[in-house]
Structure 1
């Protein structure tokens, strides 16, 4: 398992487990919050990047 997959597994287990989401937007916010929380706990920085979907075809 590569490092990104491992982080995703930890994020699901530690931050998202047993939570219900009304829609995809709530899930997206929970993932963003979870990434931020894991970064703070691990003492590393996180950065959100928005891609311009029109640029990618």
Structure 2
């Protein structure tokens, strides 16, 4: 699967925070669908 193509395609985000929330949601959903747990997210702010 490809997050960008499958879960985030055609979506616009107001800022990096909204993008990060969408990524977290997509990764959690992928874990749920694949029956594995996601334990931690770490985003570095530059």
Instruction: State the TM bucket, normalised to the shorter chain.
Output: 0.7 to 0.9
- TM-score, length-scaled by structure 2: 0.79
Pair 1:35 & 2:35 matched: no
- TM-score, length-scaled by structure 1: 0.66
Runs of 4+ in 1 over 3 A off after TM superposition: none
- Over the residues paired in the alignment, what is the CA RMSD in angstroms? 1.7
Structure 1: gaps (5+ residues): 1-6, 52-57
The structure number with the bigger radius of gyration is 1
Q: Using CA pairs below 8 Å that are at least 6 residues apart, which structure has the higher relative contact order?
A: 2
Structure 2: gaps (5+ residues): none
